[in-house]
Structures are given as structure tokens and as C-alpha cells.
Amino acid sequence: MDMRFTDTLNALENLEDGMFGQDFLLTWEKTAAALRQVLLAAEALKDLHRRNRPARCFDSGLAVSIFRDNSTRTRFSFASACDFLGLGLQDLDERRSQIAHGETVRETATMISFLTEVIGIRDDIYMGAGNRFMRQVAAAVTDSHTSGVLHQRPMVINLQCDLDHPTQTLADLLHLKTHFGSLAALRGKKIAMSWAYSPSYGKPLSVPQGIVALMARFGMHVCLAHPPGYQLTEEALAFAQRAARKSGGRFSITDSMADAFADADVVYPKSWAPFAIMEKRTEMLTAGNTGGLAALEKEALDSNARHASWQCTPEMMGLTRGGRALYMHCLPADISGVSCTRGEVEASVFEKYRLDTYRQAAFKPFVIAAMILCSRFRHPARVLETIGEKPFSRCLAP
């Protein structure tokens, strides 16, 4: 067993247990120990994969995904993670079922869970609805497990909701840890989480919310920048404020992209929709107000268009610390002249950091696998040790 892997396991073994039997719905509900467990387990699992070691710890069991929005990256990350651990994938395609809201969420959640170990949900479209739906599913499987209907209680993972995108932000954090060498090295580093212009409409707030709430816990100076009207939810802002105070970091808000980029060590320029418009949109969608929705889309696009200068250009990058800040994006980015006429980032900046954004994305499958491992097994370090000692390779190579 190699040295680094052993060190990771030791660190993991010494953490107090924070994830066993738990869901993963919002990072700001999790203890520091729980977050560190997930990060360490993800590193160990990525290390196993790199060394062609197997990680199967389930002989059978389903991993159910519910995607209420299109997805490629997260879908494949979830699929890869579950397959790596030995779980079989089954997607609940709501277009081919008759899933109604309300009373029957409870029933459906149980019906898909008899032999299920994990349920991953993406529901990021309706402000105020996505995370609530996840909690309904979680409550339902708790109820059915407590009453003996389910032999095991599947864990619920938030694969992006209206409030947070924890599998993304923990992958982002792992990318930063790897880039700067340790979590401790993040202390005092400045990260600019900045709104950026996009010609499209309705992007969720989950990534900026998740980033400010998470990075403030690790002593970073989190600088949030956006034009007027694009503020985040009170809940996320208040948490980031408290977290920064507690960690010795800093949380500031500005309406200038340049201010945010000034001397930043990391920049994360990304578009999102105005919160107020997203709330109105949910109401209109619920009410089936088609005319109102069209007017609202126009209003949102007009609003975006007034801030078309919020673009990550070489000049903007020049303002960062030594002109060499790490550029981050959850992908796909709106790249000017490539995927749209004018967007979040200029092509020359994106191309320079393209492989970095791929490396950032590469952590996500292992973060998801780590969440499952730490939730389903009381002693994840011992499971990883057992796996690491298996006398064969993941991919048979005699």
C-alpha cells in the first residue's frame, strides 16, 4: 500500500464520524468533520482509481437517479461513482412514470427504494422547490425504514438544487486543495465568485451560493461580485458571513467585477439568474402563465444585456494576483466566439485554463463516491483499507 494512501486513511480514521447514515443536501448543514471525511475519502478513491485498484464495496444494490433537468456532467459523475462502488444504475424517468407532487412523493420514494442504497436528485429549476423535494424524498425513506418497510434506508444526494450544488463545490474545494497543496494553504487566499454575462436565461443560483458558503469556512477571503438585482438568498449570505467570521476568513460583496478580481488568487466568473425573477418564474410556471413567462424571459435577458461588460477578459485576469489567478468554472462555460457571440469568458482565457477546468471536473465522481461510502459505512477508512488490499486489479492485468 502506498504511503500517501495510508496517510489519507489515517487522517480519515482519526476524524469523528459525521456522515454515517446521513444524506448530503446542503454543505452548510454539514460539520467540518463531515466535509473533511468526504474530501479525504474522495482523495483515497481517486488514488485507488489512478492506481487501477478496484473499489467495489457493494455486491449488489441500486443507485437511483432522478434528473428533473438535463445533465451530462453530473449524470456521468453519478453513474461512474456508483458503478465504481458496485451499484447498478437505474434512472427514474418521470416522463415515463406517473409521478405527481404532494402526497405521492412519499409513495414513489418508497417504491423505488426496496433494494436501493442511494438516490441522487437534480432539481434546480424552481426556486423554493428543488431542495424541498429532496427533503420530501428523504423523509419518506426514513419513515419507511423506521416502520420496517425498507430493510435499509437509501442515502439521498443533492445533485444540484435551487439552493446548493454540493457535489460540485466539494469537487471545487478538492481542486483548490490540490492546486494550493493543502486546505491550510487556502487560508487568506482571495477567491472572486463573480457574476458574468450570459446571453441565456434562468441559470440556477446554486453554484455561487454553494461556493461562498463553502469557501468561507476554510479561511478564504470570499469576494462575491454581481450587478444590482442578482443578489443571493439571505440564507446563503448569512451563512457565509458567519462562516468567515468563525474561520478567520473574510466575506465581502461588491458590485464591481474589477474589485473582486483585484489581487484574487482564484476567480470563478459565472452567470446566474436574478433571484427575484426566478421566484416570479416559479409562480408563473405553477400557474401556467405562458404570456407572463415570455415577458419575464425578455425582462431577464434585457437585465443581463445591461451588464454585458461583466466578462472574464485577459485585462480582467491581469488584475489578479500576479496576473496568474486560477480560473474556475463548473462547465459548460459560455465562451465568447465559441459557444456564443459574447459570454462569460473570452476564448483566450478559457483555453489557457481549459485543462484546469477538466481537472476540476475530474474530482466530482470521486466526491460522489466518497459521500456514498461515508454515509453507508460506519468506518469508511476500514472499507478503503480492505479494498486497497484486494489481490487483483480493477482492470484485470495478469
Judged by CB under 8 A, the chain residues 30 through 49 that form the site for a second copy are: 49
Least distance to a second copy, CB of residue 308, Å: 21
Please choose, out of 12-20, 29-37, 59-67, 120-128, the segment that lies near a second copy by the rule CB under 8 A.
Answer: 59-67
Find how far residue 161's CA is from the centre of its chain.
Answer: 9
For residue 346, give the H/E element and its range: strand 345-346
Q: Is 261 in the site for a second copy (CB under 8 A)?
A: no
Q: Which of 155, 109, 80 is nearest to 369 (CA)?
A: 80
Instruction: Write out the three cell numbers for 288.
Output: 401556467
- Cα 345 from Cα 261, distance rounded (Å): 14
Site for a second copy in 92-131 (CB under 8 A): 92, 96-100, 102-104, 107-108, 110-112, 114-117
Least separation in angstroms between residue 339's CB and a second copy is 6
Q: How many residues sit close enough to a second copy to count as binding (CB under 8 A)?
A: 83
338 lies in the site for a second copy, by CB under 8 A: yes
Q: How far is the CB of 61 from a second copy (least distance, A)?
A: 7
Q: Is 13 helix (H, G, I), strand (E, B) or coil?
A: helix
Instruction: Please identify, using beta-carbon distances, which residue of 238 and 331 lies nearer to a second copy.
Output: 331
Is residue 5 a contact residue for a second copy (CB under 8 A)?
no
Per-residue contact string for residues 133-152; x = within reach of a second copy by CB under 8 A: -----------x--x-xxxx
Which H, E and C letters describe 151-208, residue by residue? CCCCEEEEEEECCCCHHHHHHHHHHHHHHHCCCHHHCCCEEEEEECCCCCCCCCCHHH
Q: Which of residues 293-332 bind a second copy (CB under 8 A)?
A: 331-332
Smallest gap from residue 164 Cβ to a second copy (A)? 21
Alpha carbons 382 and 325: distance in angstroms, whole number: 38
**Binding residues for a second copy restricted to 369-388, rule: CB under 8 A:** 376-379, 382-383, 385-387
Q: Residue 235 corresponds to which cell in the numbers above?
A: 440564507
3-state secondary structure of 283: helix
By CB under 8 A, is residue 7 in contact with a second copy?
Answer: no
Q: Which three cell numbers stand for residue 326?
A: 486560477
Closest Cα partner for 43 from 148, 163, 181, 153? Answer: 181
CA atoms within 13 A on the CB side of 113: 27
395 binds a second copy (CB under 8 A): yes
Q: Return the number of the residue (31 or 90) whose C-beta is nearest a second copy.
A: 90
- 18 is a contact residue toward a second copy (CB under 8 A): no
Q: CB–CB of 301/289 below 8 Å?
A: no
Considering beta carbons, is residue 166 or 365 the nearer one to a second copy? 365
Segment interacting with a second copy, rule: CB under 8 A, options 30-38, 73-81, 154-162, 279-287 = 73-81
Identify the CA nearest to 172 among candidates 155, 153, 191.
191
Q: How far is the CB of 217 from a second copy (least distance, A)?
A: 26
Instruction: State how far the Cα of 207 lies from the Cα of 164, in Å rounded to an integer.
Output: 6
Q: How far is the CB of 301 from a second copy (least distance, A)?
A: 18
193: closest CA among 357, 326, 314? 326
Among 72, 234, 291, 391, binds a second copy (CB under 8 A): 72
Task: Single out the residue of 86, 199, 202, 292 in contact with a second copy (rule: CB under 8 A).
Answer: 86
Output the smallest distance, CB 189 to a second copy, in A.
23
Q: Does 341 bind a second copy (CB under 8 A)?
A: no
Select the residue interacting with a second copy from 120, 343, 365, 388 (CB under 8 A). 365
